[in-house]
Amino acid sequence: QSVLTQPPSASGTPGQTVTISCSGSRSIIGTNFVSWYQRVPGTAPKLLVYSTNKRPSGVSDRFSGSKSGTSASLAIRGLRSDDEADYYCAAWDDSLTGRVVFGGGTKLTVL
Protein backbone atom coordinates (compact mmCIF):
# COMPACT_ATOMS: atom_id res chain seq x y z
CA GLN A 1 0.00 0.00 0.00
CA SER A 2 1.64 3.23 -1.17
CA VAL A 3 1.52 6.38 0.92
CA LEU A 4 0.46 8.37 -2.14
CA THR A 5 -2.68 7.10 -3.84
CA GLN A 6 -2.97 7.00 -7.60
CA PRO A 7 -5.59 5.31 -9.77
CA PRO A 8 -4.10 2.05 -11.07
CA SER A 9 -5.14 2.78 -14.63
CA ALA A 10 -6.22 5.54 -16.96
CA SER A 11 -6.98 5.67 -20.65
CA GLY A 12 -7.75 8.03 -23.48
CA THR A 13 -7.81 8.37 -27.22
CA PRO A 14 -5.27 10.31 -29.28
CA GLY A 15 -5.75 14.05 -28.97
CA GLN A 16 -7.65 13.88 -25.69
CA THR A 17 -6.56 15.33 -22.35
CA VAL A 18 -6.04 12.83 -19.55
CA THR A 19 -5.57 13.71 -15.90
CA ILE A 20 -3.91 11.46 -13.32
CA SER A 21 -4.45 12.18 -9.64
CA CYS A 22 -2.17 11.68 -6.66
CA SER A 23 -3.65 11.89 -3.20
CA GLY A 24 -1.71 12.18 0.03
CA SER A 25 -1.65 13.78 3.44
CA ARG A 26 -0.89 17.22 4.82
CA SER A 27 2.65 16.22 5.83
CA ILE A 28 3.37 15.13 2.26
CA ILE A 29 1.53 16.84 -0.56
CA GLY A 30 0.06 19.45 1.73
CA THR A 31 3.45 20.94 2.58
CA ASN A 32 5.89 19.79 -0.08
CA PHE A 33 6.49 19.90 -3.79
CA VAL A 34 5.33 17.04 -6.01
CA SER A 35 7.23 15.48 -8.89
CA TRP A 36 5.96 13.22 -11.66
CA TYR A 37 7.80 10.49 -13.55
CA GLN A 38 7.07 8.56 -16.72
CA ARG A 39 8.31 5.02 -17.11
CA VAL A 40 8.02 3.26 -20.43
CA PRO A 41 8.57 -0.48 -19.91
CA GLY A 42 12.20 -1.41 -20.40
CA THR A 43 13.46 2.13 -19.96
CA ALA A 44 14.54 4.28 -17.03
CA PRO A 45 12.00 6.60 -15.38
CA LYS A 46 11.94 10.12 -16.79
CA LEU A 47 11.24 13.29 -14.81
CA LEU A 48 8.23 15.08 -16.31
CA VAL A 49 7.26 17.63 -13.68
CA TYR A 50 9.01 18.91 -10.55
CA SER A 51 8.26 21.53 -7.91
CA THR A 52 4.61 20.60 -8.53
CA ASN A 53 4.26 22.51 -11.82
CA LYS A 54 7.68 23.00 -13.45
CA ARG A 55 8.95 21.09 -16.46
CA PRO A 56 12.59 20.14 -17.04
CA SER A 57 14.18 21.35 -20.23
CA GLY A 58 13.14 19.13 -23.12
CA VAL A 59 9.84 17.93 -21.65
CA SER A 60 6.83 18.75 -23.80
CA ASP A 61 4.44 21.45 -22.59
CA ARG A 62 1.68 18.89 -23.15
CA PHE A 63 2.55 17.73 -19.63
CA SER A 64 1.50 19.95 -16.75
CA GLY A 65 1.24 19.55 -12.99
CA SER A 66 -0.91 21.16 -10.33
CA LYS A 67 -1.81 20.79 -6.67
CA SER A 68 -4.75 21.61 -4.45
CA GLY A 69 -4.67 20.87 -0.75
CA THR A 70 -3.48 17.31 -0.27
CA SER A 71 -3.94 16.20 -3.88
CA ALA A 72 -1.86 16.73 -6.98
CA SER A 73 -2.57 16.09 -10.64
CA LEU A 74 -0.72 15.46 -13.85
CA ALA A 75 -2.49 16.50 -17.04
CA ILE A 76 -1.45 15.19 -20.43
CA ARG A 77 -2.84 17.27 -23.26
CA GLY A 78 -3.05 16.13 -26.88
CA LEU A 79 -2.59 12.46 -25.97
CA ARG A 80 -0.25 10.50 -28.26
CA SER A 81 0.39 6.79 -28.64
CA ASP A 82 3.90 7.14 -27.24
CA ASP A 83 2.47 8.56 -24.00
CA GLU A 84 1.45 4.99 -23.15
CA ALA A 85 3.49 4.30 -20.02
CA ASP A 86 3.39 4.09 -16.24
CA TYR A 87 3.23 7.38 -14.35
CA TYR A 88 4.36 7.93 -10.77
CA CYS A 89 4.00 10.86 -8.41
CA ALA A 90 6.51 11.47 -5.61
CA ALA A 91 6.98 13.88 -2.73
CA TRP A 92 8.86 14.36 0.52
CA ASP A 93 7.16 13.06 3.67
CA ASP A 94 7.89 15.29 6.65
CA SER A 95 6.75 12.72 9.19
CA LEU A 96 9.25 10.84 11.38
CA THR A 97 12.78 11.36 10.09
CA GLY A 98 11.68 12.26 6.59
CA ARG A 99 11.63 10.19 3.43
CA VAL A 100 10.74 10.31 -0.25
CA VAL A 101 7.48 8.53 -1.03
CA PHE A 102 6.09 7.44 -4.37
CA GLY A 103 2.57 6.78 -5.55
CA GLY A 104 1.53 3.31 -6.60
CA GLY A 105 1.71 4.24 -10.26
CA THR A 106 -0.90 4.69 -12.98
CA LYS A 107 -0.77 2.69 -16.18
CA LEU A 108 -1.90 4.91 -19.04
CA THR A 109 -3.34 3.21 -22.10
CA VAL A 110 -3.83 5.11 -25.34
CA LEU A 111 -6.78 3.52 -27.09
**In the complex, least distance from residue 1 CB atom to other proteins, rounded to whole angstroms:** 10
Q: Which residue ranges make up the site for other proteins (CB under 8 A)?
A: 2, 32-33, 35, 37, 43-47, 50-51, 56, 88, 90, 92, 96-105
By C-beta, is 35 or 64 nearer to other proteins? 35
What is the closest distance, in whole angstroms, from the C-beta atom of residue 49 to other proteins in the complex?
9
Q: Alpha-carbon Rg of the chain, whole angstroms?
A: 13
Least distance from other proteins to the Cβ atom of residue 64, Å: 16
- Dihedral of the alpha carbons of 41, 46, 48, 52, in degrees to the nearest 10: 110
Other Cβ atoms closer than 10 A to 87:
24
- Residue number, 16 or 95, with CB nearest to other proteins: 95
Q: How far apart, in whole angstroms, are the C-alpha atoms of residue 30 and residue 41?
A: 31
- To other proteins, the closest distance from the beta carbon of 73 in angstroms equals 17
3-state secondary structure of 22: strand
Contact criterion met (CB below 8 Å) for 47 and 40: no
* Nearer to other proteins among residue 76 and residue 90 (C-beta): 90
